[in-house]
Amino acid sequence: MASGRKSSEVYHDDALINIHEASCDLLNSGDTTFRHEPLQTTTGIRLLQLPSGIGEDNQLVCTPYDLRDTPSYYGISYCWGLAANHAKVRCNGQMLPISPDLLELLEYLDNFKREQDVNHFWIDQICIDQTNLDERSDQVQLMRHIYAKAHRTLIWLGPLDVNGDLVMLHILDHVTNLRESIPYDRGNMTHVTEEQNAELGLPDLDSADWKAFQQFLKKPWFRRVWVIQEVALCKHPPIIMLGNMTCSWHQFAESIEWLYRKGYRDFTELGALGQTIFTIQRIRHRKDKQTGIPKQWHLEHLLYFISDKEATDPRDCIYALLGLSIDVSNPNTKISEALVPSYRRPMFQVFTDIVRYCIRKSGSLLILGVGGIEQRPEGTTATTCNPPSWMPRWDLPHQQFRKGIHHSFDLSVGPDDLTDVRPVTRFQAAQDLQAQMLHNEDIGALCLKGIKVDHIVWCSESTATMSDNPKALHPLTDIWEGVLAHMGLEKTGDGNPQFHSVAEAIYMSMIAGEVVDRQANDELMQDFWLYLSHLYAVLAWETENDEAYEKYALLWDVYRKLGEDGVVLRVPCRLSKRRMFITSRGFIGMSSISLCKGDEVFVLFGSDVPHVLRNDREGNHLLVGEAYVHGLMHGEVITQWRDGLLNETLVTLR
């Protein structure tokens, strides 16, 4: 056994060493050190009043109130921007350094407050003493109530870009009119065609207008984790502000959902933003009938689905969701220490504590779905990088973050019917067994019980760029040929019964088992044969390759024997940034892009899906990621274990 770290030791938070210092530097720069008067109550906050005109000669007034007795105010949702090159404003008789982005916002608020007849605002950068770690921690615990008490949330997206933003607003107006006459089908998740798009009267799909639309959705605000709470909790619909122009959040969110469901999710930014919008809208819709306050959801579900958002301080990727969580809402229940915000606790300790809390509370390993050794900074390996492999890397940029096999919540469910955000899974690999987490003094070790199933003997090349785009020909054909060659089936046809069973295992792994019944499975297999034959037809035409044509003819013959005529469809695919694999016993599956030969397949107690682990040869394992393994998704391993055919084992993840 490798020597472990004791609980009295902590990981080095090298990435965070300067975060608090930078915050202090922002507020302490200049000749005068700004000082807030301490808040006197546990429910105390400060509200900001603006003068007429913003500048060093016009003074802001920041006044303390008790949250239970405040004037009407707006909560501001915005991006801090860079702390460097600070600006200054006069506040309470002192010079207060603020970010240039905030100064820009204050200048536009001067006009907004006159139009809306409001003069009190809550802005975290000014209303919280950012130099006081204890106050920051206390105010985070009040954040839910601060935004729920606000009259509205005002979303600041920056000055108006007359080229890009106006195009976006024009598309929103057009979609708003379409929504009233052309409702979407909640179950329809097809892709829009050029002809359908033209019938809707929207810009050509390859036009500059759609590029401007996507550029709008790349604004940093949409990546912030805090925006979920800031928008979801306010009493009245939020307002989006671009320069001096405003539009309603409701119009924006409903239009984004309409576009997503009508097939425009192929636009990268729209696809990435869609589920965040759905989450916010469902929280806003699901309110307590008496208080009007949105009901709360389970923390592990929120962390699973809102795992790709960013924060200046990575600990806020946890803290920003606490106000939405049922785990902290019961005043009669002692809150776990893991759920008490503290900016004095190291980042890695915050992350590992929250993973253990979620497993202990739920008995489920869902939270491990956003962990795994693929989430590593470039230039490091699982054996040299400090954090444990099972710890989700909420500190990494959102582009590097991956989710597990559980894909999303059910988008066919209406907001009024959804009781919680939860994974859509029809799997029960561990049946009804709860996670068994054993105590270990090493904070980098996670000790679980499970069953080793097999080890991997073949894996495909990386499919990092593969999607459900028909132009992505070679990855799927290479996977098909690689599996058949390894199974010794490359020379056989559909007369071999194993040919069909292997094909089903490949396709079901490719779509991560996304079928609801046998009839749907048969229909999907027909689509698979048609799709694969089409790939070989195009490959044969492009390369003038006789072998590719022969494979096309074989696959087309298989398809026609099913008695179907059809058109080439875009088939669903979950292989992006993942690999297919085969185990020594012939199981076919799909898991993380980081897997390799020799990795082991386990069914861990408390998990709906199998996991791929890597033996470090010192008695420990590294978490590679969740897996779909055809034939192991519905409790087959647990049945064999209960029959005495397999043995459980203690797994120490590091």
Q: Find residue 94's DSSP bridge partners.
A: 91
As a whole number, mean pLDDT of residues 582-587 equals: 94
Of the pLDDT bands very low, low, confident and very high (cuts 50, 70, 90), residue 14 is: very low
The average pLDDT across 482-494 equals 71
The domain spans of the chain are: 26-150, 463-561
Using only C-alpha atoms, what is the Rg of the chain?
27
Nearest to 363 by CA among 604, 606, 602, 603: 606
Q: Which whole number is the average pLDDT over 242-250?
A: 92
pLDDT surpassing 70 at residue 411: no
CA distance 140 to 21: 19
- Residue 521: band (very low, low, confident or very high) from pLDDT cuts 50, 70, 90: low
- Residue 593, pLDDT > 80, answer yes
Q: At 67, is the pLDDT very low, low, confident or very high (cuts 50, 70, 90)?
A: very high
**Is there a contact between 298 and 420 (Cβ–Cβ < 8 Å)?**
yes
Average pLDDT over residues 546-553: 58
**More confident: 104 or 28:** 104
Phi-psi region of 647 (alpha: psi -120 to 50; beta: other; left: phi over 0): beta
Q: Residue ranges of the alpha helices (H) in 182-315?
A: 194-199, 208-217, 226-232, 249-261, 268-285, 299-305
Confidence band for 379, pLDDT divided at 50, 70 and 90: very low
Query: Residue 3: CB partners within 8 Å, gap ≥ 6?
Result: none
Q: Residue 316 — pLDDT band, cuts 50, 70, 90?
A: very high
Mean pLDDT within 310-327? 88
Question: Is residue 590 within 8 Å of 579, Cβ to Cβ?
Answer: yes
CA 469, CA 472: separation in Å to the nearest integer?
6
Q: Which of 54-63, 267-276, 457-466 has the lowest mean pLDDT?
A: 267-276
Q: In 3D, which of 251, 237, 241 has the Cα closest to residue 158?
A: 241
Better-scored residue on pLDDT, 598 or 186: 598
Buried b (16+ CB within 10 A) or exposed e, 410-440: ebeeeeeebeebbbebebebbbebebbbeee
Mean predicted confidence (pLDDT) in 577-584: 90
- How confident is the prediction for the chain on average, in pLDDT? 78
CB-based contact 611:604 (threshold 8 Å): yes
Closest CA to 65 of 6, 7, 120: 120
Counting other chains too, the contacts that 363-366 makes at CB distance below 8 Å and 24 or more residues apart are 363/434, 363/435, 363/606, 364/300, 364/434, 364/435, 364/606, 364/607, 364/608, 365/435, 365/448, 365/604, 365/606, 365/607, 365/611, 366/300, 366/301, 366/304, 366/406, 366/423, 366/607, 366/608
> Would you state the pLDDT for residue 604?
98
Q: Is the pLDDT of residue 244 over 60?
A: yes
| Residue 348 and residue 169 in contact, taking contact as beta carbons nearer than 8 Å | no
* Range scoring the smallest mean pLDDT among 68-72, 217-221, 532-536, 561-565: 561-565
Condensed to tens digits (0 to 9), the pLDDT of residues 421-431 reads: 555 567 899 99
**43 vs 426 pLDDT, higher one:** 43
Q: What is the pLDDT of residues 617-628, one digit of tens each?
A: 888 999 999 999
Q: 146 or 19, which is more confident?
A: 146
Q: Which residue has the higher pLDDT, 571 or 48?
A: 48
